[in-house]
Amino acid sequence: MLGLKYKTLFVAFHLLFCSISYAQTEGTVSIPLKDYLEFKNQKDICDSLYRNLSIEFQKQINKVVSDSLELSKFKIENQSLKQSELKKQNDQLLKSNDSLSIESSKKDSVINKHPNEIINAKNDGINQIKEKIRNYYQRPLDELIESSSEDILDRDLIILGNGTQFAEKITDAKSYFQAKESLSRKYDQRDIARHLSNMNKLAQTKKVKELKDILNQYSDTYVAFTDLVNDLIAWDSRIIVIDENTRNTKQEYITKVTSAFIFNYQFRYEDYPYISNLLVEIIDQKRKEIDSDLTPILDKL
């Protein structure tokens, strides 16, 4: 906008200059009244335009100066605000630090003045915790098994100590969880025999007897599952899917033999986690690609 005004001002000066030059060079020449009046009219227009442009130009300059001053004022105020806020935050931090120092000094003072009371209060708290743990282990073994875990048992054994009357019950519960954990690993005859031996030493509660039955059947279940995998691999080599009919035939056979395994051995997924994971892997693999190779599953058995 300001550039356009400069151009207009330049045109006005140019017209004015030309008019004056014409009057000077032609001053001694007789000019018709009509031409003179036209010339005078143009000159008046140029003078008026010059005055208006000068006023507008001055307004623009004043506005630029005003904006510049306003911007400088804003920067100064903003900087002052930042410094004030930083000072406020710093004061708050110093105040908080002083408060912490005072509280720490009070705590140290109390401990120094009443060391025996502090020690006794701490021991009382420990004794209360131990008493609650002792009461917890008054429960029957099956209730402990249902409401705890091996990590909890390890923690409580450290708190109560190996020489206490509750250590034996904690150890019995740990033996149960360790035996159950063996079912999440690849079948190992010596490992299963060791856990069965430990289970025979426990109180023969309902849950202990159930786990012993599962451990005793692990070998037969493991062998049956290995046979299932070999059967599916053999079937894969005989039937290759070439159309929808062969796909359906293969899928029906997979469903039939896996269902027979589950039914014949009364297989429950939660009883044999390791075998269950492999069975789910087979089903998922065949669902994605019916002709996929199951040989890698045998490497896990």
Q: Look-up: residue for tokens 């025979």?
A: 200
- Residue length, the chain? 301
pLDDT at 162 over 60: yes
Which of 135, 134, 187, 301 lies closest to 233 in space, CA to CA? 301
The model's pLDDT over 232-258, given as tens digits with 9 standing for 90+, comes to 999 888 888 888 888 888 889 999 999
Which of 298, 123, 127 lies closest to 226 in space, CA to CA? 298
**pLDDT above 90 covers what percent of the chain?**
35
Task: Please state the domain extents for the chain.
Answer: 2-86, 217-301
Question: Is the separation of the CB atoms in 256 and 262 below 8 Å?
Answer: no
184: which DSSP letter? G
Q: How confident is the model at residue 196 (pLDDT cuts 50, 70, 90)?
A: very high
Average pLDDT of the segment spanning 6-23 = 41
Question: Is the separation of the CB atoms in 225 and 261 below 8 Å?
Answer: yes
Q: How confident is the model at residue 17 (pLDDT cuts 50, 70, 90)?
A: very low
pLDDT at 201 over 60: yes
Both tokens assigned to 204? 């023969």
pTM of the model: 0.58
